[in-house]
Structure 1
Amino acid sequence: MSRYTNLLVVIDPAQDQQPALSRAVTLSERCDADVKLTLFLAIYDFSYEMTSMLSSDERQAMRNGVMHQREEWMNDIIQSHNAQHCDIEKEVVWHNRPYEAIVERVLSHQHDLVVKATHKHDTLGSVIFTPTDWHLLRKCPSSVLLVKEHGWPDKGKIIASVHVASESETHAILNDKLVDEGEVMSAMLGAELHLANAYPATPVNITIELPEFDPTSYTDAVRGHHLTAMKALRQRHHIEEARTHVHEGLPEDVIPEIARELDAELVILGTTGRTGLSAVFIGNTAEHMIDQLDCDLLAIKPDGYISPLDPRASD
């Protein structure tokens, strides 16, 4: 059932509690296939590079000592998160750009999911994404699951954020992939899958520049188009109408609001390419939407996506 059997779990060197590992353990326990977890830690200390009195071999020995200490610390992390029964590999690398180290590992070992913890703002409740998070969302060739410090309850809710009215074939294929992904995750977690879509409000300038323009009819037509497209999508995947949501507004406002109303545990989001599938990016709309979410995020790449860090991207 699960398509995720080779997980790369990014460890936070500054924390003893590792939500990413907890989530990965949950996925492995609920999967109907053997799952391998690789705990991955990229560390770097510039002071070790500036010790001019030491030879390169001595500096390397110091780095190796630090990495060995971290490997021992990761053993304690495994014990504290009750992950001893999982099939676990550990890797610590010395790298000053964690996202590059992560992507390189994904490319070399064909990981199908990167699991990484992110943070919740104490006051606003929204997720705070680090530069590494953003680089992974844009450049990682595998799916990326960003998690927070909370559990996934039984009989929870999952939202697939779809873009149903686009005439782009890439969007249509990605919509189907998002729904398929949602169905897999819902089955694994005993959750209920919902589909959510936002449609634009009538531009104010049109009503000013065209006095005879009927904004009500225009809004009804736009809404009707989105409802028809959503109906086709849900019927294709045998999803009942009550679990589909088509609301007026900007996606960055609508999707987080629906997630809060449903108390969703996970939002599944697709990414598309700027110039084809070889240059994926997260646009401003998606960035703003993600900033407003206060639940976990699963970012899915379109089929055929090639990371800009992949050697094939320069061919």
Structure 2
Amino acid sequence: MNNFKNVLVVIDPTEDNQKAFSRALELAEKQPISITLFLSIYDFSYEMTTMLSSDERHNMRDAVIADRTAWLEDLVKENQTDINVLSKVVWHNRPYESIIKEVIDGNYDLVIKGTHSHDTLKSVLFTPTDWHLLRKCPVSVLLVKEHAWPAHGKVLAAVSAGVEDEQHQDLNNLIISNAISMADLLESDTHLMNAYPPTPVNIAVEIPEFDPNEYNSTMKSFHVKSMESLANKHQVPSTRCHVIEGMPEDVIPRVAKDLDAELVVMGTVGRQGITAALIGNTAEHVMDNINCDLLAIKPSDFDCPIK
């Protein structure tokens, strides 16, 4: 079973349907977990009210927090759940930082948040909260889309079967273990997929004796054997293993659609700076191109940049 015991659910005050909360309740029906609803709010106008004293501004912020806390409590009542749900509202101008701080302070092991498509240009200029969480949150992040989570829904684990370094092998094992646990909850099967790089065109052009067919065959054989070894370790039958040529950000959404998967599980390693802004992580590209939930798993030695 999953090690998810203490779950932080990020609430979006602009949405009528809190799909992250709904997913958390579904998860709680399948295994015992603790749920905390979390809302980060901020209004710059309260900070700029120079006619008020510092104490008066502080009292105004407290009043807003109290109002939003009451709203969260009403939200819990509306769902008519017998599950004990806590709630917390904080005043913070950077939502992703407040979420990560709460994760660390509250010792949570899973963050659930609703997501949606992100405009590419705006994402470069203003990195979405979802992307920040994928890169920086020290625990697993479940990004939820607007769809059902039916029994027998397939779970797709995206791995890098051909890697040889210990860190990536450990991450592969974490991804598959979590996928199998989620599939058990959904009374379903786990599928494994691995994308391997296509033949580099520039080499074929620059080196006349280069045989692209032989290269492709060798590359595919290596990844198929690596996948067989990984699947055998986790007792996943070969009929549920998919080794496909192409870039992961293209292959994963295609396989997820073909399988009609309800959940994609993959690893994510934070990338910082200009590289992250211009290129982004595979998980960020996949998130916008699948019509199901994404569970992003962090390496066991992940170093959170926010303390």
TM (norm. structure 2) is 0.92
Task: Identify the range of structure 1 (183-192 vs 139-148) with the bigger mean alpha-carbon deviation.
Answer: 183-192
Aligned residues: 294
2:107 to 106, 110, 113: 110
**AA partner of residue 55 (structure 2):** D
Contact 1:38 1:89 in 2 (8 A): yes
Which whole-Å CA distance do the structure 1 matches of 2:149 and 2:53 have between them? 50
1:140 to 137, 140, 155: 137
TM-aligned CA deviation for residue 304 of structure 1: 2.1
Answer yes or no: is 1:68 the counterpart of 2:76. no
Which whole-Å CA distance do the structure 1 matches of 2:191 and 2:73 have between them? 38
Which whole-Å CA distance do the structure 2 matches of 1:72 and 1:286 have between them? 35
Answer yes or no: is 1:196 the counterpart of 2:199. no
Which whole-Å CA distance do the structure 1 matches of 2:116 and 2:288 have between them? 11
User: What is aligned with 1:131?
Assistant: 128
Answer yes or no: is 1:228 the counterpart of 2:222. no
Which aligned pairs between 1:38-187 and structure 2 lie closer than 5 A? 38-82=36-80, 84-120=81-117, 131-187=128-184
Which whole-Å CA distance do the structure 2 matches of 1:63 and 1:88 have between them? 24
> Are residues 81 and 120 of structure 1, via their aligned partners in 2, closer, same or farther at CA, if it must alter by over 3 Å?
farther
TM-aligned CA deviation for residue 73 of structure 1: 1.1
TM-aligned CA deviation for residue 37 of structure 1: 0.5
TM-aligned CA deviation for residue 284 of structure 1: 4.2
User: What is aligned with 2:275?
Assistant: none
Q: Deviations over 1:212-245 (max 9, x none)?
A: 2211111000000000000000001111011110
User: What is aligned with 2:29?
Assistant: 29
> Are residues 148 and 274 of structure 1, via their aligned partners in 2, closer, same or farther at CA, if it must alter by over 3 Å?
closer
Contact 2:116 2:288 in 1 (8 A): no
Contact 1:118 1:130 in 2 (8 A): no
Contact 1:38 1:88 in 2 (8 A): yes
Contact 1:141 1:301 in 2 (8 A): yes
Q: Secondary structure at the match of 2:288?
A: helix
User: What is aligned with 2:2?
Assistant: 2
Which whole-Å CA distance do the structure 2 matches of 1:303 and 1:238 have between them? 22
Which whole-Å CA distance do the structure 2 matches of 1:249 and 1:63 have between them? 51
Which whole-Å CA distance do the structure 1 matches of 2:224 and 2:280 have between them? 24
User: What is aligned with 1:269?
Assistant: 266
TM-aligned CA deviation for residue 295 of structure 1: 1.3
User: What is aligned with 1:15?
Assistant: 15
Which whole-Å CA distance do the structure 2 matches of 1:249 and 1:169 have between them? 24
TM-aligned CA deviation for residue 94 of structure 1: 0.5
> Are residues 266 and 219 of structure 1, via their aligned partners in 2, closer, same or farther at CA, if it must alter by over 3 Å?
same
Q: Deviations over 1:46-84 (max 9, x none)?
A: 1111111111111111111111111111122112333x3
> Are residues 133 and 252 of structure 1, via their aligned partners in 2, closer, same or farther at CA, if it must alter by over 3 Å?
same
Contact 2:271 2:281 in 1 (8 A): no
TM (norm. structure 1) is 0.89
Contact 1:268 1:297 in 2 (8 A): yes
Contact 1:161 1:197 in 2 (8 A): yes
**AA partner of residue 27 (structure 1):** L
Which whole-Å CA distance do the structure 1 matches of 2:280 and 2:48 have between them? 38
Q: Secondary structure at the match of 1:159?
A: strand
Task: Identify the range of structure 1 (129-138 vs 260-269) with the bigger mean alpha-carbon deviation.
Answer: 129-138
TM-aligned CA deviation for residue 13 of structure 1: 1.0
Q: Deviations over 1:240-276 (max 9, x none)?
A: 011110001111111110000001111111023669x
TM-aligned CA deviation for residue 283 of structure 1: 4.5
Root mean square deviation of aligned Cα? 1.7
Contact 2:135 2:271 in 1 (8 A): no
Which whole-Å CA distance do the structure 2 matches of 1:208 and 1:304 have between them? 41
Give 5+ residue unaligned stretches, structure 1: 122-128, 276-281, 311-315
